[in-house]
Structure formats: C-alpha cells, structure tokens
C-alpha cells in the first residue's frame, strides 16, 4: 500500500463502507450498531478497524523498506542503518583533560 487517506472525512467513509460490509457478512443489513457492538463484530471476524489497518500497513511498509530494501524502494540516507567503525581500526587518542 502506498496511498492512505489523511483527512478524517475520508477515513470515516472507509469506516462506513467497512461497517456496511460487516452488516452484510452477518446478514444484518438493517441493524444499527453501537460503537462497542461494531468493535465486537470486528473482533469476532479478526478484522482491524480501517483506521488501524491503514496504520498497520504503513508500519509494515516501513519495516519492509528498512529491512528488505529492493531496487524499487530506496529509503532516505538519514533512515539507513549506520555502519559503525571497526573497533580494531579505531585509533584512540588521549584527551587533553587527562592528567599525565
């Protein structure tokens, strides 16, 4: 997933569509659910609410880009893993404040 809705109205439209689908699955087209009933139905079907599904997909995409880079997905330099210098090759110097 690359795109996700940002505005609350668009997310609410996806939530309404999901709620209609849940009602269809349970053959309760003309029922109205309270928020807790709706979340219970989602839990019974093992489905995330759309808002959380979008967040989850963003996290999965970021994880894949960061840990399994492909030639088609490049991540900015400030997000790449930084390679630490080899301690064997690091030259240590005495600090100026140390007493001799």
- Tens digits of per-residue pLDDT, 10-21? 989 999 999 999
Task: Check whether 32 has a pLDDT greater than 90.
Answer: no
Give yes or no for a contact between 40 and 48, defined as CB atoms under 8 angstroms apart.
no
Cα distances (angstroms) measured from residue 36 to each of 22, 43, 46: 14, 10, 15
> Whole-model pTM?
0.59
Torsion-angle region of 74 (φ positive above 0: left; ψ -120 to 50: alpha; else: beta): beta
How far is Cα 28 from Cα 11, in angstroms, rounded to an integer?
23
Read off the pLDDT of residues 58-87 as tens digits, 9 standing for 90 and up.
Answer: 888 888 877 776 665 666 666 665 554 555
How far is Cα 5 from Cα 21, in angstroms, rounded to an integer?
19
């Amino acid at each position: 997933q690359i795109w996700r809705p940002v505005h609350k109205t668009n997310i609410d439209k996806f939530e309404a569509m999901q709620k209609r689908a849940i009602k269809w699955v349970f053959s309760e087209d003309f029922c109205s659910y309270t928020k807790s009933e709706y979340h219970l139905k989602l839990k019974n079907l093992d489905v995330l609410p759309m808002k959380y599904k979008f967040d989850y997909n963003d996290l999965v995409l970021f994880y894949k880009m960061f840990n399994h880079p492909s030639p088609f997905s490049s991540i900015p330099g400030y997000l790449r893993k930084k390679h630490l210098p080899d301690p064997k090759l690091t030259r240590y110097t005495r600090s100026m404040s140390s007493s001799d």
